[in-house]
Structure 1
Amino acid sequence: MSITIGVDIGGSHISSAAINGNDFVIIPETYFSGPVDSKASKEVIIKKWAEIINQTIQAVQKISGYTEKDKIGIAFSMPGPFQYESGIAMFEGNDKYESLYNVSVSEELVKYLDAKNVSFRFLNDASCFGVGGSLKENSSVENKVIAITLGTGFGAAFLDNKLPLTQGDNVPHNGCLWDKPFQDGIADSYFSTRWFLKEYEKSTGNKLTDGVKEIAAIESFSTAKIFDDFANNLTEFLAPFIIDFDADLLVIGGNIAKSHRLFLPKVKENLKAKNIDLAISIVENTEHTSILGSSYLYNEVFWERIKAELPYF
């Protein structure tokens, strides 16, 4: 028997769950999550990751008839910069997990896991979210998917038949959007939580700390205009990429997506005005979707297609 565990690494958390590969769902009572201090030492971070993953391993052992001979595949939805083929972290200058710079996550993590017959596979977190979103839609018609995550940062993935693409004439460099030019800066500065906080302070003179959820709860002309401006900016930025990629589906996740009622109607209206017709899917639980997407790395057909082109960033 082989077991697949999907892991989502965030800037301040880790989540882990075992996946039923037959119907592509999280196995009940195997999901665990916990906070992580991304500025802690290498040992503290790795031990915390192991602690959460071990809870999933122990749950699987209880419910599945697991034996020590059984193989466990652990698939990571991992932010960059990261060497996804070798499993070596390259976090530097991005204010998170910098103590893991040039560290082999596989070699360090296995020291603290309750199971030793394990293997590891890694993929960019935005790509995992995109793969998970594509699989949840489960539509043969929607072959070309752009997936974006709107939160503390702006993640993106371009997928053709569930395969993340990082190069090609109709795909932006590295399959990323966060670093692409937009207005007076780069996209990440406009499609993240800090943009909302900055715009709210600029509009009202007041500082907020809880993010977009707090702004969404305030019904005023100022907040309505902020969400309208966000929708206009998002449409203006995404439209050329949607057209170039000839996308069939746009999947949106991240914490900002939870306030979609305040910006999605305007996005749809703007796209229609540009004669762009594509389906849009909002994913409320980005973590679960990323975990599911990461687990697909242990679909051997998918792995054979993707492993030679794992991104190095």
Structure 2
Amino acid sequence: MIPVLEIGGTHVTAAVVDLPDGRVGRRTHRPLDPHAGAEDILGAVRRCADHLDVPAGTRWGMAVPGPFDYAQGIALFAGVGKFEALYGVDVRTALLHELRQRPGDVVFLNDAHAFMMGEWLAGAARGHSRAVGITLGTGVGSAFLVDGGIVARGPGVPPEGRMDLTEADGAPLEESVSRRAILARFGDPSADVRDIADLARVGQRRARRVLDDAFMTLGAVLGPRLTAFGATTLIVGGSMAGSWDLVAPALHAGLADGGWTPDAIGLDGGPERPRRHTRAVQPAGLAGDAALIGAARAVAVRD
């Protein structure tokens, strides 16, 4: 069993993973304030991890969003609207010294990469040799996968493998597709994305237009890259994927406009899907478990 941590925009999760079975157990969650001070953020992570009873000296995996120096374990958050108090903090050293279990090491990886790896091992991307994963939340995370490995260059792959470094209509993609972009376009400071989705479902035109514009833009930017990459599936995760009934139609239309017309759209998020389709758009099959499983695999590969 491999202990892992996953940092999200507003939460931290600790769990142990049975990698051969793809099973996540002994899970604990804690809220995380992305605008808090460094000690408060690290304290929340520590308290969450300390709920796990694992032997001292065990190697941990940790999925964390960027920008982050994953090799050294140093946070580089700046200009992304979250965790900026951690800029320059040696997170690896903090965890090694402050966790009750005293880990032997911590292996860090990008949260979108961990998500995609988990989906490839045990979720919606199983059986696909060339797959792309997108996570939609506070920003746009991405992962381009070839035969089980994440790649950062090649045909269709954006700089560093990061879709957040691409542009839409001359502006950074996250100015069109992110939590802050959707809220800004909706124009109601009391609403969150979930509220906007609820309004769209009951027929409010402004809410539906804001969401459609965001996901059609994402599809139009992704389409040419998926074609050049030779992707056979696009897997969508993150908090916004919970509104898949709203995401899927607009994303499908945008992808078609961008030249990558899906043959199928997964509807239920389950892992069992037909693979005769050459191009499929699917929601995450493992939901919150994918990044945890991916983090565990990073540890197993390192061992």
Q: TM-score, normalised by structure 1?
A: 0.82
1:256 to 2:257 alignment: no
Residue 98 of structure 1 is matched in structure 2 by 84
1:246 to 2:230 alignment: yes
Q: Secondary structure at the match of 1:148?
A: strand
Change in 2 beyond 3 A, CA 1:43/1:213: closer
Residue 276 of structure 1 is matched in structure 2 by 261
Task: Tell me the amino acid that sits aligned with residue 292 of structure 1.
Answer: I
Offset, 1:117: 4.8
Q: Deviations over 1:90-122 (max 9, x none)?
A: 223434333333332221112222223522101
Retained in 1: the 8 A contact 2:159–2:165?
A: no
1:295 to 2:280 alignment: no
- Given candidates 130, 153, 156, the residue that maps to 1:167 is 153
- Give the gaps of 5 or more residues in structure 1: 62-66, 202-206, 305-313
Retained in 1: the 8 A contact 2:241–2:283?
A: yes
Q: TM-score, normalised by structure 2?
A: 0.84
For residues 250 and 44 of structure 2, the distance between their equivalents in structure 1, rounded to whole angstroms, comes to 42
Q: Which moved more, 1:39-48 or 1:266-275?
A: 266-275
For residues 138 and 184 of structure 1, the distance between their equivalents in structure 2, rounded to whole angstroms, comes to 33
CA RMSD of aligned residues (A): 2.3
Retained in 1: the 8 A contact 2:218–2:254?
A: no
For residues 85 and 216 of structure 2, the distance between their equivalents in structure 1, rounded to whole angstroms, comes to 39
For residues 188 and 167 of structure 1, the distance between their equivalents in structure 2, rounded to whole angstroms, comes to 21
Task: Tell me the amino acid that sits aligned with residue 28 of structure 2.
Answer: F
Q: Which has the larger radius of gyration?
A: 1
For residues 14 and 294 of structure 1, the distance between their equivalents in structure 2, rounded to whole angstroms, comes to 14
Q: Deviations over 1:152-180 (max 9, x none)?
A: 11111111122111123431111001121
Residue 124 of structure 1 is matched in structure 2 by 110
Retained in 1: the 8 A contact 2:124–2:283?
A: no
1:17-166 equivalent positions in 2, closer than 5 A: 17-27=15-25, 30-56=26-52, 58=53, 71-137=57-123, 141-166=127-152
Q: Secondary structure at the match of 2:177?
A: coil
Residue 273 of structure 2 is matched in structure 1 by none
1:300-311 equivalent positions in 2, closer than 5 A: 300=301, 303=302
Task: Tell me the amino acid that sits aligned with residue 14 of structure 1.
Answer: V
Change in 2 beyond 3 A, CA 1:200/1:45: closer
For residues 141 and 126 of structure 2, the distance between their equivalents in structure 1, rounded to whole angstroms, comes to 24
Residue 217 of structure 1 is matched in structure 2 by 198
For residues 113 and 101 of structure 2, the distance between their equivalents in structure 1, rounded to whole angstroms, comes to 27
Q: Percent identity?
A: 26
Offset, 1:140: 5.8
For residues 98 and 230 of structure 1, the distance between their equivalents in structure 2, rounded to whole angstroms, comes to 26
Retained in 2: the 8 A contact 1:243–1:276?
A: no
Number of residue pairs the alignment of both structures matches = 283
Task: Tell me the amino acid that sits aligned with residue 299 of structure 1.
Answer: A
Retained in 2: the 8 A contact 1:47–1:112?
A: no
Q: Which moved more, 1:9-18 or 1:102-111?
A: 102-111
For residues 51 and 247 of structure 2, the distance between their equivalents in structure 1, rounded to whole angstroms, comes to 38
